[in-house]
Amino acid sequence: MARYSKVLIVDYGSQYTQLIARRVREAGVYSEILPCTASDAQLRAVAPQAVILSGGPDDVGEPGAPTLSPALLDLGVPILGICYGMQLLAHTLGGTLANATDREYGPAGLTAATDCPLWKDVPKDAPFTVWMSHGNRVTGLPDGFEPIASTPSVDLAAMADRSGKIYAVQFHPEVHHTAHGERILRNFLFDIANIEPDWTISSFVDRAVEECRTTAAGANVALALSGGVDSTVVAAILHRAIGGQLHCIFVDHGLMRHREGEEVTAMLSRHMPGLKLIHVKAEDLFLGRLAGVEDPEEKRKIIGRTFIEVFDAEAKKLPNVRFLAQGTIYPDVIESYSAKGVVIKSHHNVGGLPEEMKLGLIEPLRELFKDEVRALGVELGLPEDFIWRQPFPGPGLAVRILGAVSKDRLDTLRAADHIVQRELKSAGWYRKVWQGFAVLLPLRTVGVMGDARTYESVVALRVVNSVDAMTADWTRLPHEIIAAISGRIISEVKGVNRVVYDVSSKPPSTIEWE
């Protein structure tokens, strides 16, 4: 089976590692991230056409700082070191480092000093802006290397061993603050590593369908369909690959947005004719178990356990089910480890199925970033208005109701949130923001409606901008949109007399309130 050209990115703890991977993929080359603690066997198994060493927060050579595996040099493929990666190459290959008097963080003017291929089509007649983030710097080059760029404060801002095809830069070409950063990365990929840009969503569809068909050969597959983008795209791939062997189990816990359950099932029927869909309406069960529970973590545990119980019961009714399909995506995989091998979070989309089920896993999206999943959904013919829906938490509206969850409070929040969605769309702002939603607070305030005093609930409006949800900033919505949302909620949603706007960013806050 044909495979893609591949770039291995070794993660030394940089906040930009995923961004490097995305930039490489945007250039049409598949990239894969491994932690710097990966074994030599794991590194060799990737069989890459090139290697990129990320930045990192450590001081090269200090006790406990990550080191460079000799296996990476033994691969015999071109290497690009970025920031910590440059310092690590210099230190390992016999160069010298020194601590900077002051940590350099921010823009600097880089002068490309030579005509080396890394600077192809990059200005040489004047400095251009690059983004620095380092404490140490290279002061002496290893044998065989030459200086290829400088800044006013860093004489050796880039170095190259042309014969060995090892290049390194002290700045971050992957961030948008660096002018010509995309060009520099492409020069490394195409002019130095001579990689064929063969990574496209269209080619991924063909391979994913073929692999799913081969894996599931003759067996039935159960898919936990949440109604979200990831699991729906998985359903579309498997429906194309194995047709009637796929059984989708949609556990409707009653915690979804306005008419979402009906909209999801109707969309699936339209776009995947013949799809075997089991729609389990379990609102009463979930609400019964959530009754009186206020602690947000306990809510999540109850919802997770109950979901597994319902899914398991339905899956066991199906004949010859040997595989579970999930919407795991690449950030889920990456977040399962840190650069130094410490688990950040254990990921399992369904939440951990009972061991006695003994099902194999099919995860066709585990190589893709979120934007690639959306592009894949469009490629598969799913409607764009569905594919571009904003992220929604697995526990649903339960974690947007602060305090205990009840049917009445759910109906109140659902109505308020529906107004938020409608107004963002009508104002042309829905696709401009990462998320916009309502939160129901566990308090009441005094108000006046007509000539009567009221004592009713408060709704918070949360609208944020983000790229990957790792950080987020509150959105400066035009005042007239906020006014329209607030006015409609107060006048149309029974039991609400006040709307407030959340102006906190992540960090220190989170996007969701629970």
CA atoms within 13 A on the CB side of 90: 28
Locate 438 and state its tokens: 């309502």
Distance CA 212, CA 240 (A): 10
* 212 noted as active-site residue: no
The CA-atom distances, in angstroms, between 275 and each of 174, 240, 278, 365 are 42, 10, 10, 20
Is residue 172 annotated as part of the catalytic site, yes or no?
yes
DSSP 414-458: HHHHHHHHHHHHHTT-TTTSSEEEEEEEEEEEEEEETTEEEEEEE
| Catalytic residue from among 36, 91, 116, 172 | 172
Choose the catalytic residue: 83, 116, 212, 248. Answer: 83
- Partner residues linked to 27 by β-bridges: none
Q: How far is Cα 316 from Cα 311, in angstroms, rounded to an integer?
A: 9
User: Two tokens at 78?
Assistant: 């071109």
502 burial (CB, 10 Å; 0-12 / 13-18 / 19+) is middle
Q: 255 in helix, strand or coil?
A: coil
What distance in Å separates the CA atoms of residue 36 and residue 372, rounded to the nearest whole number? 25
The reply to whether 372 belongs to the active site is no
**Strand, helix or coil for residue 225:** coil
CA–centroid distance for 170 within its chain: 26
How is residue 194 written in tokens?
A: 């001579």
Interhelix angle for 229-242 vs 260-271, to 10°? 30
Torsion region of 360: left, alpha or beta (phi above 0 gives left; psi -120 to 50 gives alpha) = beta
Give the active site residue among 174, 260, 314, 423: 174
Catalytic residues: 83, 172, 174
